[in-house]
Amino acid sequence: MAQRLIYYDYCSLVLLAMILFSTVLRKMTKGKLNRLFLLLVCSAFVATAADIVSLSHNNAGYDNLNVRQFENMVYLFSHSLTTPLFASYVTTLTDTSHIFKKNRIVGILINVPYIIMLIAIFTNPLTGKLFGFDSNNHYQRGPVFWVMYLSVAVYVVYSLYIMFRFRRAIGNARWVSLIVLLAGMLSAVIMQYFFPKYPVEMFANAVGLLFISVMVQRPEDIMDVESESKSRSAFASDLQRSFDNKKNFDIIILKLSNLHSFGELLSYDERIGLLKETRSRISKLSLSKGVLPEVYYLRGGVFAISVDGIGRNRTDELAQLIFENMKQPITITNIQINLIAYVCVINVPDDISDSKAMSEFINNAVPAENGVSYAKDILGTGRYDMLIDMDGIINRALSENRLEVYYQPIYSTVEERFNSAEALIRLHDDKYGFVPPDLFIPAAEKNGTIHKIGRFVLESVCRFISSEDFEGLGLDYIEINLSVVQCMSSGLADEIIDMLKKYNISHDKINLEITETFASHYRSVMKENIKKMYDAGISFSLDDFGTGYSNMQSIAILPLVITKLDKSFTEFDSSDKMALVVQHSIDLIKSLEMKIVVEGVETQEMLKRFSDLGCEYIQGYYFSKPLPRDEFVKFIRANIA
């Protein structure tokens, strides 16, 4: 028998070593698809190494047949793994394994060819039917060696079926890459069958795996390098594929609400370390429950953990375990970090049945609750339905006059009278009823309708101030809220000044409220808008002081006359430290020569306490909730001394 060429295997071994090194270096080792690819490469590497040893001994006529038997069995065993693993890889890539698991007969039949191969390999020392050695100790195929090729053909046909049936799930570029790869591998198998002298199968496998590594296993498409999780784009594509394939699975959302707070405290490497440690905790906790989920990092401190198969029986336990574990501080370079974690469980498709709805839910509806929450409970409140239909709700409100301005009176402790009020927008929809501002205002800021809503509020307030109803109420001004998005509009100042002129209203009759968030964004266009309005005689207040990241420099240079303490300051009796915070905050504001409005006052005790602390204005349910215009007028008239 002619000597078989070994050089193809040398080249194959070098290529496979490079692929292994590259895969590990690129951190493409997490997730089912990555693990399958890594297993594919490892099995090919072992098969190639065994083939090199076997061919070397064959060419040299090595006479220890027990060793020869073993090395050929290792080669055939590892090589026989290639096509079943490739079929599993394609199934995982298309996310269709659940379809075949539903049919137990099909599931069993898929494994039959591989079982037959294993039986043939491990019984060969007794039967010699698969391979043997001639009188010169040269390797030769046995009478049933064709079983190996038949089994390969079965898995190739299966892979082709999956690839053609679920082509959309793979994507055109990946699909073409896999088809070319499969064609090359088949050609090599056929060539080696008819020309055993040229063992090109392993070389073809190595080239094919290199092709997959470059064209299919693209880390920039799959992995989030910072957290070592799968990326947001991978989540979107995997999610859509799962919905298309009607797959049942669970999603655990882990939202770290205060992650952004550490942005200025930690270096880049420390922030990366924090994300990696969080990812590591999720992996360890999952393994402790016997679950192998896909973990994605969606940015903004949000992780998504996808659980399918038998792991779904442990989803609730895993979610609770993650929540409890995240209470434990994370130490990064001697800094102990306490993260605030919210966990929510979503059952798919029972709770949510399309990718857009999933995205909306994750972005807007995951609640800030102490404990594990469930999407089914949230969806039952109707709040989520509002979120999904929010653009339609806002558009209907604008076109059908469903917006209304309410007014909440503000009491002057110095003058002992109601001297002003805050204008608050309200929305009532025929389908959903009252729609909370904390839902539709953020949505309006995103879709741009906040400008129309702001214009509506401004004109409603100006119309009220210029009306006969307003006369005799003794109110000095009305406060109007401005959002950051509104203030980014270069025409805002002119719009407000023109509106005041239209209704012949003195500029001191309105006071514009801006938030701490606004203060932290105090730049260019906003600065020009504020200066122009301030020069025109319009005053400004800082709203919600103490709820966000206070940029003291910006606050100090803004032309503010009033600062509104957030209602959280009314918890002054919760601790001695809180009392100190309240006292020093008031002292700071007064040192800046600003007056103070306290929001959220609900009791006589609160009123007296803040009056004694020198706060000039009180706003809250102790006096009145926000009222429609007519009721507000009646309330003020009834309380005029």
pLDDT digits (tens, 9 = 90+) for 430-440: 888 898 888 88
Whether residue 1 lies inside any domain: the answer is no
- Looking at the structure of the chain, the number of domains it has is 3
Which are the contacts of 37, defined by CB distance < 8 A and separation ≥ 6? 23, 28, 89, 209, 212, 213, 217
Residue 394 lies in a domain: no
The answer on 258 and 210 residing in a single domain is: no
Q: Which two tokens stand for residue 31?
A: 């997730």
Q: What is the pLDDT of residues 324-333, one digit of tens each?
A: 998 888 877 7
Residues 236 and 343 in one domain: yes
Q: Are residues 194 and 261 in the same domain?
A: no
Q: Which residue has the higher pLDDT, 284 or 55?
A: 284
3-class DSSP state of 549? coil
Residue 27 maps to a domain? yes
Say yes or no to pLDDT of 553 above 60.
no
82 and 172 together in one domain: yes
140: CATH: 1.20.1070.10
Structural domain contains residue 193: yes
Q: Domain check: are 213 and 290 in the same one? A: no
Residue 54 and residue 175 share a domain:
yes
Do 229 and 196 fall within a single domain?
no
Give helix then strand counts, H and E, for the chain. Answer: 29, 21
Least confident of 163-167, 509-513, 550-554: 550-554
| More confident: 409 or 59 | 409
Residue at which a domain ends, from 217, 233, 254:
217
Does residue 392 belong to any structural domain of this protein? no
Full strand arrangement of the beta sheet holding 372-374: 223-224, 229-230, 294-297, 302-307, 249-256, 341-348, 372-374
Q: What is the domain extent for residue 486? A: 399-424+451-638
Q: What is the mean pLDDT of residues 215-234?
A: 80
565: phi then psi, degrees, rounded to nearest 5: -75, 130
Same domain as 198, residue 90: yes
Q: Which of 193, 217, 241 marks a domain boundary? A: 217
Instruction: Give the pTM.
Output: 0.62
pLDDT for position 1: 44
User: In CATH, what number is assigned to the domain containing residue 469?
Assistant: 3.20.20.450
Q: Which of 171, 198, 217 is the last residue of a domain?
A: 217
Exposure pattern of 437-472 as b/e (b: 16+ CB <10 Å)? eebbbbbbbeeebbbebbebbbebbbbbbbeebbee
**CATH code at 275?**
3.30.70.270
Amino acid at site 129: K
Residue 380 three-state SS = coil
Lowest mean pLDDT among 157-166, 326-335, 479-488: 326-335
Residues 211 and 235 occupy one common structural domain:
no
Q: Looking at the structure, do residues 16 and 132 belong to the same domain, yes or no?
A: yes
Residues 378 and 496 in one domain: no
Tens of pLDDT, residues 184-218: 777 877 877 777 777 778 888 888 888 888 877 77
- 12 contacts 40 by C-beta, under 8 angstroms: no
Residues 142 and 245 reside in one and the same domain = no
Which of 404 and 572 is assigned the larger pLDDT?
404
Q: What is the mean pLDDT of the chain?
A: 85
> Does residue 619 lie within any of the structural domains?
yes
Q: Which of 312, 425, 306 is nearest to 30 (CA)?
A: 306
Per-residue pLDDT, 524: 66
Query: What does DSSP say about strands 560-565 and 595-598: parallel, antiparallel, or unpaired?
Result: parallel
